[in-house]
């Protein structure tokens, strides 16, 4: 699932993000969403999130979406 729509991403979801310094290489980092940082309902580069380990990046792929 794509990470461009805020409604698709929940706190606790397992996602793949690209960090700012990895945008050129496209290297992805896996983690669990702790906080949604993008306020708009969608963003063409991906919703910016903070992962549980403090990494900030834009969601490129949602692996497991937490069910409320």
CATH architecture of 6-64: Roll (2.30)
Please give the Cα distance from 61 to 53 (Å, whole number).
18
Q: What is the pLDDT of residues 33-63, one digit of tens each?
A: 999 999 999 999 999 999 999 999 999 999 9
Q: What is the pLDDT of residues 6-26, one digit of tens each?
A: 999 999 999 999 999 999 999
Number of C-beta neighbours around residue 28 at 10 A: 15
In this prediction, residue 68 carries a pLDDT of: 62
Per domain, the residue ranges of the chain are 6-64
The SS3 call for residue 11 is coil
In this prediction, residue 59 carries a pLDDT of: 97
**pLDDT averaged over the chain?**
95
Please give the Cα distance from 57 to 38 (Å, whole number).
10
In this prediction, residue 65 carries a pLDDT of: 86
- At 2, is the pLDDT very low, low, confident or very high (cuts 50, 70, 90)? confident
């Amino acid at each position: 699932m794509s990470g461009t729509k805020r409604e698709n991403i929940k706190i606790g979801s397992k996602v793949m993000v690209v960090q700012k310094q990895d945008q050129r290489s496209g290297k992805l980092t896996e983690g669990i969403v702790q906080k949604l940082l993008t306020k708009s309902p969608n963003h063409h580069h991906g919703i910016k999130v903070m992962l549980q380990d403090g990494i900030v990046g834009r969601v490129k792929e949602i692996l497991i979406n937490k069910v409320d």
